[in-house]
Amino acid sequence: MSFDETVDFLVVGSGAGSMVGALCMRDQGHRTVVLEKAELLGGTTCKSGGVMWIPNNRFMKRDGVEDSLEAGRTYVNAVLDDQLDTPGSTPVKREAYLTQAPEMLNYLVDKHGVRLTRVHYWPDYYDDLPGGCSTSRTVMAELFDLKQLGPWHKKMRRGFLPLPLMLGDAMNLPAVKREWPARWMLLQFIGRLLLQLITGKRRVAAGAALQGWLLKSALAAGVEVRTQSPVTELIVEDGAVRGVCTERNGKAWRIESRHGVLVTAGGFANNAEMRAQYQPGTSTDWSNAVESDTGDLIKEMMRLGAAVNNMDMMVGYQSTMLPGKEQDYVKPGAQKITAAPHVILVDQTGVRYQNEGGSYVAFCRGMLDRNSVAPSLPSWGIMDSQAVAKYGVAGVKSKSKLDKLAQSGYLKRAADIESLAQALNIDPATLRATVDRFNGFVANNCDEDFGRGHRHYDRWLGDRYHQPSQTLGAIEQGPFYAIPIVPGDVGTYGGVVTDEHARVLREDGSVIAGLYASGVCTASVFGRFYPGAGASIGPAVTFGYIAGQHAAAAAGKAG
């Protein structure tokens, strides 16, 4: 079989896991090439929050927060409940994640100087379960100056927070009018911004910062990175993956890879055909995944016989399609809206059906599951004038702008609950009963139906200044409002099945030799659950690291 080029290791895709996998191989002296089909690097990770959920990490120890491998294991098993051994989420694979994720952090920080830290407060999404953490197991990158990349900075995809403002600080901005620590943070940010203008630095945060640090490390180590290099075929010889068909300078190009191929090419969030097949009821129009997230490599691995699992799952991100914002780089989220006091979510019959303060993945899964019982796509966020005055409607508070939203038909507004129900084609008695029942829970400070406010995470999502509950508030002061809520996403959450070494498996459990995968092109190590902030990027980076270490060890044995 003829090839145009031979390398030691190929990585398909340029998300966080790709750079770490490539680094592991390059550290051992192997020629490693990263192929990105898009014009820009970083994938959906780059435009995301870029956080990683990692129990027992070094920064928890630094901050004096108690955690352990056993606590992490207990918590993950409690979240998964009776789904402790499923394709893609076996006990041995989860153990590999829990033990190797902290080691991956040590590797990046100590060997490659990647500057990471801990988000001080972002509770686990099921923190009330055994082993749950009520502060934070979530790790993020420190600010990164894109100018450190030299000419490569023009190849980086834009982040959702293109400012010198740490993600944790950005989430605390609403407190600026209420507390001095937030005001001091804002002054520091303004100072950094002015300094940036003077010095010419271009510091970014969140996912763009994580990708910037990793790309800088990969380039410094000698990893070759190529854009506009789509992989159209995985080449198999003697039952093993030996290379890929790609493009170079616009022409077909066949590359042999002596020690394997790592696929980290994202999911299928922007493939309408695959979504219709695996995730009916969802839409590419609601996704925040990058445009190149079209499932090409998932289909190619399936062609080779790879098993798939959890293809109906996505990293949900409840959204509201604000008029004029439908094509924004980051579509308006609704998580902080639905979890705020004086707000509930109802289906199209006017019935409340889940905890509005829960995990975004569970929230959107709940919307889709509810649709088989009663129409819920879209559902309605019901709120009163207190909520609008305090929190706005997707950031909109002024009367003139609210009037425009009402005139567009997006925002429904009425003097009383019954009139609002009529505007939504809901039985007025049903919506009134729903609101009255919720208000009764508020009066007793206990949501007897769905437990909203019981977890630290629910309360973190709400308003910490609202008492006695940060998330429960009566819907009682007119006028009353309703906005449509849809199950958006930041990517899909199912894909090919891999083992504890990140090797791709067939339906019979056998390994497809020479083929590794990590990230959302794989079935999550957490199965159908999302235990905390960064439960997709954390495994993507960790299993990229595991794949690189395994391939490097195998290459060493092969001589």
User: Helix, strand, coil: what percent of the chain each, to 5?
Assistant: 40, 20, 40
CA–CA distance, 519 with 20 (Å, rounded to integer): 12
pLDDT the model gives residue 328: 85
Burial of 283 (0-12, 13-18, 19+ CB in 10 A): middle
CA distance 194 to 534: 31
Per-residue H/E/C for 271-321: CHHHHHHHCCCCCHHHECCCCCCCCHHHHHHHHCCECEECCCCEEECCECC
Closest to 240 in 3D by CA, of 526, 531, 516, 527:
516
Residue 440 sits at φ, ψ, to 5 deg, of: -65, -40
Q: What is the pLDDT of residue 326?
A: 81
- Of 240, 230, 338, which is closest to residue 293 (Cα–Cα)? 230
Cβ(513)–Cβ(305) below 8 Å: no
Angle at which helices 69-80 and 91-106 cross, to 10°: 140
The Cα 546–Cα 88 span in angstroms is: 15
User: What does the chain come to in residues?
Assistant: 559
| CA dist., res. 320 & res. 330, Å (int) | 12
Phi then psi for 279, rounded to 5 degrees? -135, 60
CA proximity to 340, closest of 434, 461, 200: 461
What DSSP character marks residue 233? E
Q: What is the DSSP pairing of strand 261-263 with strand 9-12?
A: parallel
Segments making up each domain of the chain, as ranges: 5-161+205-232+493-558, 318-487
Alpha helical stretches, state H, 67-205? 69-80, 91-106, 112, 167-171, 180-199
The tokens for 30 are: 């192997």
Q: What residue ranges of the chain have pLDDT lower than 50?
A: none
Whether 5-161+205-232+493-558 shares its CATH topology with 318-487 is answered no
The encoded tokens of residue 354 equal: 């889940």
pLDDT at 338: 92
Q: Are 382 and 348 in contact (CB under 8 A)?
A: no
Residues in a beta bridge with 247: 252
Going from the C-alpha of 389 to that of each of 279, 315, 417, the distances in angstroms are 36, 30, 18
Q: Is residue 82 classed exposed, middle or buried when 0-12, 13-18 and 19+ CB atoms within 10 A define those classes?
A: exposed
> What's the DSSP call for residue 129?
S
Residue-wise pLDDT tens digits, 373-410: 999 999 999 999 999 999 998 888 888 999 999 999 99
CATH topology of domain 318-487: Flavocytochrome C3; Chain A, domain 1 (3.90.700)
Give the separation between CA 153 and CA 200, rounded to whole angstroms: 13
Find tokens 């927070």 and name the residue: 161
C-alpha span between 418 and 429 (Å, rounded):
7
**Token pair listed for 100:** 């190797």
Pairing of strands 379-384, 480-485: antiparallel
CB 206 within 8 A of CB 48: yes
Half-sphere exposure of 471 (CA within 13 A, CB side): 25
Predicted local confidence at residue 444, as pLDDT: 97
pLDDT value of residue 331:
84
The whole-number pLDDT of residue 35 equals: 98
**Single-letter residue type at 207:** G
Name 506's bridge partners: 306
HSE-CB of 273 using CA atoms within 13 angstroms? 4
One of 3.40.50.10330, 1.10.357.10, 3.50.50.60, 3.30.420.130 is the CATH number of 5-161+205-232+493-558, namely: 3.50.50.60
pLDDT digits (tens, 9 = 90+) for 102-150: 999 999 999 999 999 999 999 999 999 999 999 999 999 999 999 999 9
Q: Give one word for 135, left, alpha or beta, with left for phi > 0 and alpha for psi -120 to 50.
A: alpha
DSSP string, 166-190: -HHHHHTGGGTTT-HHHHHHHHHHH
The pLDDT of residue 196: 75
Report the pLDDT value the prediction gives residue 559, as an integer from 0 to 100: 65
382 neighbors 349 (Cβ within 8 angstroms):
no
Question: What pLDDT was estimated at residue 395?
Answer: 80
